[in-house]
Amino acid sequence: MKHIEHGQDAPQQPLGIVPTVDLSAEPGRQEFYQRADGKSLAPLWRVLHGLVTATPQPPCTAAQWKYREVRPFLMEACEQISTAEAERRVLVLENPSLRGQSRITQSLFCGLQIILPGEVAPPHRHVASALRFIVEGRDAYTAVGGERTTMEAGDFVITPSMTWHDHGNESDAPMVWVDGLDMHIVNMMAASFRDSYPAATHPLVRPEGAAAAEFGSNLLPIDHQPGSLASPIFNYPYRATREALHRYARAAAPDAWHGYKMKYINPVTGGWAMPTISTWLQHLPKGLKTAPYRATDSTVLVVVEGSGTTRIGDQHFSWQPHDILVIPSWVEHQHCADGDAVLFGYSDRVVQEKLGFWREEKING
């Protein structure tokens, strides 16, 4: 390969160009490139190593939203617009490196939704699946496929693909939850549909608690035939998940990398609760410092209880209840809990696992 002089400048190596390409020969190829371009043809050798990177190059960056700073904006949003006008009163958490795209990671959406006493959010359905993780409030409901569930802080609620859903708040206080959605995965495949329900409310077809009664006790109705890829349990109440997590912590030693991490599962399959978004709950006992870890799923963490510090690459974030953090793909991180802490997490890990490319690395445990 010929050496080219660039004076004081570093060699101009176009991003992604194959290193064996002789840059000094490139000017002589320009006329060819231009004619090819006229036919919508482009040389792979100028972009190959940018397309197929040696390691993950997440477009999102590590980030944190402090609930203390965000909450006043949610309250102000309530003065600006009603749920009826907005359809869903949500402030989108946009990754600082992906502004204007409604993405918290390259593949997932995150928003904070607030619904005031007496408000209702009208029924609609879409191909995108949604999760709710309740941040504050109690006694507001969401209805999914004609069954209501009353929610409180820490509950994890699923709205499976194409199920009718609406929300209402019959309590005397605002309710705030995290909305996690997979519409960017749906849209990557151009497979999105959406319908509005042709009435103000969707009829209730099952009594509240029916899904939990049928599927929520490690038992299944004997002739149950799965009707959906998502878990038939659509509310995993914190009362039960918190107790399970702490029972686990009393029964076993903490994992060096995870502390105590338990995934929400679909009782019909034993797999992840949702087909496109992995969800889990993590308990970090007081004083525990997890060993460095990385995985290929860019992750959203919601602090449920406790406070601590997380190192993500060379950045340090200290967190409090309801703060939200992003850990990009393949960036080494570790947590340290000041007091007993619980984190809720979600990512596209389940999609990567199905496609066979999810990887993790547990570093010097």
Count the residues of the shown chain that bind ligand 1HN, applying the rule CB under 6 A.
12
Of 141, 127, 143, which is closest to residue 201 (Cα–Cα)? Answer: 143
Count the Cβ atoms, other than its own, within 10 Å of residue 5: 6
How far is residue 5's CA from residue 89's CA, in Å, rounded to a whole number? Answer: 57
Q: Edge-to-edge, what's the strand order for the sheet holding 165-169?
A: 147-152, 138-144, 165-169, 120-126, 194-196
Residue nearest to ligand 1HN (CB): 179
| Residue nearer to ligand 1HN on the CB measure, 168 or 259 | 168
- Residue from 165, 294, 322, 335 binding ligand 1HN (CB under 6 A): 165
Q: Which two tokens stand for residue 156?
A: 């994890």
> Least separation, in Å, of the C-beta of 61 and ligand 1HN?
22
Does residue 164 interact with ligand 1HN by CB under 6 A? no
Does residue 304 interact with ligand 1HN by CB under 6 A? no
| Residue nearer to ligand 1HN on the CB measure, 66 or 88 | 88
Q: In degrees, to the nearest 5, what angle opens at C-alpha 84 toward C-alphas 344 and 154?
A: 15
Residues in the chain: 365
> Least separation, in Å, of the C-beta of 183 and ligand 1HN?
6
> Least separation, in Å, of the C-beta of 115 and ligand 1HN?
9
| Residue nearer to ligand 1HN on the CB measure, 90 or 303 | 90
Does residue 179 interact with ligand 1HN by CB under 6 A? yes
Q: For ligand 1HN, which stretch binds (CB under 6 A), given 45-53, 66-74, 146-154, 177-185?
A: 177-185
Does residue 130 interact with ligand 1HN by CB under 6 A? yes
Q: Show the beta-strand stretches assigned E in 249-314.
A: 260-263, 278-284, 293-295, 299-305, 308-312
How far is residue 263's CA from residue 341's CA, in Å, rounded to a whole number? Answer: 16
Residues between 202 and 241 that touch ligand 1HN (CB under 6 A): none
**Would you say 259 and 336 are in contact if contact means Cβ atoms under 8 Å apart?**
no
Residues between 66 and 95 that touch ligand 1HN (CB under 6 A): 88, 90
| Residue nearer to ligand 1HN on the CB measure, 194 or 247 | 194
| Residue nearer to ligand 1HN on the CB measure, 111 or 308 | 111
Does residue 274 interact with ligand 1HN by CB under 6 A? no
Which residues share a beta bridge with 131? Answer: 158, 180
Burial (Cβ within 10 Å: 0-12, 13-18, ≥19) of residue 140: buried
C-alpha dist (Å) from residue 335 to 298, 309, 331, 343: 16, 6, 13, 11
Q: For ligand 1HN, which stretch binds (CB under 6 A), given 18-26, 178-186, 270-278, 294-302?
A: 178-186
How far is residue 294's CA from residue 108's CA, in Å, rounded to a whole number? Answer: 18
Does residue 347 interact with ligand 1HN by CB under 6 A? no
Does residue 119 interact with ligand 1HN by CB under 6 A? no
> Least separation, in Å, of the C-beta of 204 and ligand 1HN?
17
Does residue 181 interact with ligand 1HN by CB under 6 A? yes
Count the Cβ atoms, other than its own, within 10 Å of residue 156: 27
Does residue 302 interact with ligand 1HN by CB under 6 A? no
How far is residue 39's CA from residue 37's CA, in Å, rounded to a whole number? Answer: 5
Does residue 168 interact with ligand 1HN by CB under 6 A? no
Binding residues for ligand 1HN (CB under 6 A): 88, 90, 109, 111, 113, 121, 130, 165, 167, 179, 181, 183
